[in-house]
């Protein structure tokens, strides 16, 4: 049985990457929606909705999915706090997988980052560096935000420990801080490095994306997994069995 998918943002870079691998991943795109189309009328025909449009459109789509009981895979990033709250409210009615990055490698990176943050002493200072193509609209990336969460969880630090840019600041770097730095340019698909800089040694975990098919295949794996789950928000780590 192939999984019938409603794909939102179908004309975009990710939308096209998903359509290209759908059949191989045991899925069938039954509706390709983009600006100008109304996903609501296609919802009854799909098993799962996969959204790679833009952050502004995800809350409306999530509310429609909640109204019609359709599971949702959220690929969009850069949601405002208000958008985030609206999406979270929908998870009381439907299951959703919500990940800033659907690749297997990045999700392993997130898992290892959480473990390293837990195990290494505070004198091993965490810093996150990411680079993406010049067209990317949000910064830092959703993946960098996920890595930041992993460090904060591992260290059991409050969100105030996050520092998204150090430029203009002077003085010594505090121990209880995690810096996040975004680079933009060229056609870079996505690169993320987490550094733990200790007193006399440095550990780095890095991931480099070759092309968008890694996100596309991961999102479709999530779509097949989420169908039939209880309402709630699931991480990609749970889909892949990377539990702590």
The helix, strand and coil proportions of the chain, stated in percent and rounded to the nearest 5, come to: 35, 25, 40
**Minimal CB distance to ligand NAD: which residue?**
12
- Residue 35 CB contacts under 8 Å (≥ 6 apart), including other chains: 11
Nearest distance from C-beta of residue 98 to ligand NAD, angstroms: 9
Nearest distance from C-beta of residue 34 to ligand NAD, angstroms: 4
203 touching ligand NAD, by CB under 6 A: no
Structure-derived torsion over alpha carbons of residues 74, 78, 79, 84, reported in degrees to the nearest 10: 70
Enter the tokens of residue 78. Answer: 């850069």
Closer Cβ to ligand NAD, 53 or 221, answer by number = 53
Question: Residue 26: how many CA atoms within 13 Å on its side-chain side?
Answer: 9
Task: Clarify whether 136 is annotated catalytic.
Answer: yes
63 touching ligand NAD, by CB under 6 A: no
105 touching ligand NAD, by CB under 6 A: no
Task: Clarify whether 118 is annotated catalytic.
Answer: no
52 touching ligand NAD, by CB under 6 A: yes
Enter the tokens of residue 226. Answer: 């989420």
d(CA 194, CA 130): 9
Q: Is 89 helix (H, G, I), strand (E, B) or coil?
A: helix
Closer Cβ to ligand NAD, 52 or 124, answer by number = 52
User: Sign of the C-alpha dihedral, residues 80, 209, 2, 238?
Assistant: negative
Stretches 94-102, 109-117, 148-156, 168-176: which one binds ligand NAD (CB under 6 A)?
94-102
For residue 106, the Cα-to-chain-centroid distance in whole angstroms is: 9
Nearest distance from C-beta of residue 173 to ligand NAD, angstroms: 29
The single residue of 55, 132, 192, 207 carrying the catalytic annotation is: 132
Among 215, 217, 221, 234, binds ligand NAD (CB under 6 A): 215
Pick from 174, 120, 175, 109: nearest CA to 148? 109
Closer Cβ to ligand NAD, 20 or 203, answer by number = 20
Cite the active site residues: 132, 136
Which residues of this chain interact with ligand NAD, rule CB under 6 A?
8-9, 11-15, 33-35, 52-55, 57, 75-78, 99-102, 142, 215
């Amino acid at each position: 049985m192939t999984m019938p998918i409603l794909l939102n943002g179908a004309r975009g870079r990710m939308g096209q990457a998903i359509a290209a691998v759908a059949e191989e991943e045991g899925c069938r795109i039954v509706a390709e929606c983009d600006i100008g189309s109304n996903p609501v009328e296609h919802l009854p025909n799909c098993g799962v909705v996969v959204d790679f449009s833009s952050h502004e459109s995800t809350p409306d789509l999530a509310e429609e999915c909640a109204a019609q009981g359709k599971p949702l895979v959220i690929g969009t990033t850069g949601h405002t706090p208000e958008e985030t709250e609206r999406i979270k409210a929908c998870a009381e009615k439907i299951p959703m997988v919500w990940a800033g990055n659907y690749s297997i490698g990045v999700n392993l990176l997130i898992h290892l980052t959480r473990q390293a943050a837990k195990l290494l002493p505070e004198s091993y200072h965490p810093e996150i560096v990411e680079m993406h193509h010049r067209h990317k609209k949000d910064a830092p990336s959703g993946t960098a935000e996920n890595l930041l969460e992993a460090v904060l969880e591992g260290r059991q630090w409050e969100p105030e420990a996050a520092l998204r840019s150090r430029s203009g600041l002077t003085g010594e770097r505090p121990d209880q801080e995690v810096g996040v730095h975004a680079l933009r340019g060229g056609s870079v698909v996505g690169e993320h490095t987490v550094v733990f800089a200790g007193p006399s040694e440095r550990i780095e975990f890095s991931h480099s994306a070759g092309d968008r098919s890694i996100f596309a295949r991961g999102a479709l794996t999530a779509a097949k997994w989420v169908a039939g789950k209880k309402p709630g928000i699931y991480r990609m780590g749970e889909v892949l069995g990377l539990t702590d």
